[in-house]
Amino acid sequence: MTIKSPEEKPLLSKPPRFVSVILAAGAGRRFGGGKLLSPYGAGRLMDPAVAAACSAPVDGVIVVTGADASAVEAHARTLTPILQIIHAPDWAEGMSASLKRGVEAAGDVDGVFVFLADMPRIPHAILPALAKAVADGAPAAAPVHRGRRGHPALLGRPVLARIQSLTGDRGAASLLGQAGLVETEDDGVLFDVDTRPPD
């Protein structure tokens, strides 16, 4: 799979400035290990998340590794050369640890799209709508499918300022109470892969 650089398409607006962060640090214990590099479609499970992150209206894309860091980084670099890849040495503390590392690496931006590397069916069409919600003043934005909030979330400045207070494995969910919700009929915003399919 070849993934285009964000620079190869027009940005939604400048400013605001957004960055994608892909959380690819988990060990995939329920899956039996090696989840993100397991076969999926014509590639690997993490490939569609990288493609979605690159298709968002962003200035850059960051991948945060943890478990299987060397293998995940090596594969990610075969997808596109524009990724910034960082390692979260404290990844085992939970999703919040890798999220904090990713937000730190993003620097001074107006918002961070947070993608989970084990969610291969994120609809690209939802991403500009999330960006517009934050550009229009929402502190964060997230898709919602039939009443259930999904991914990715776009964290605006008010939420990014509180990221360092997070602990454990809940990510930024506890900070999204005032998020702008963008309705979608695509249940890919809820679909993740937790366990290995039966042979």
| Residue 112 bridge partners (DSSP) | 19, 155
In b/e form, how buried is each residue of 66-99, taking b as 16+ CB within 10 angstroms? bbbbeebbebbeebbeebebbbbeebeebbbbbb
The Cα-based distances of 128 to 33, 139, 146, 155, 192 in angstroms read: 34, 16, 20, 14, 21
Domain extent listing, the chain: 13-189
Phi and psi at 58, nearest 5°, equal -130, 165
Q: How far apart are CA 57 and CA 113, in angstroms?
A: 9
The Cα-based distances of 82 to 4, 106, 122, 166 in angstroms read: 9, 14, 20, 29
Print pLDDT tens along the chain (199 aa).
445 555 444 444 456 899 999 999 988 877 777 899 999 999 999 999 999 999 999 999 999 999 999 999 999 999 999 999 999 999 999 899 999 999 999 999 999 999 999 999 999 999 999 999 999 999 999 999 999 999 999 999 999 999 988 887 777 888 888 889 999 999 999 999 986 654 4
Domain at 13-189, CATH from 3.40.1030.10, 3.40.718.10, 3.90.550.10, 3.40.50.410: 3.90.550.10
pLDDT of amino acid 126:
97
Consecutive H or E run containing 104: helix 95-106
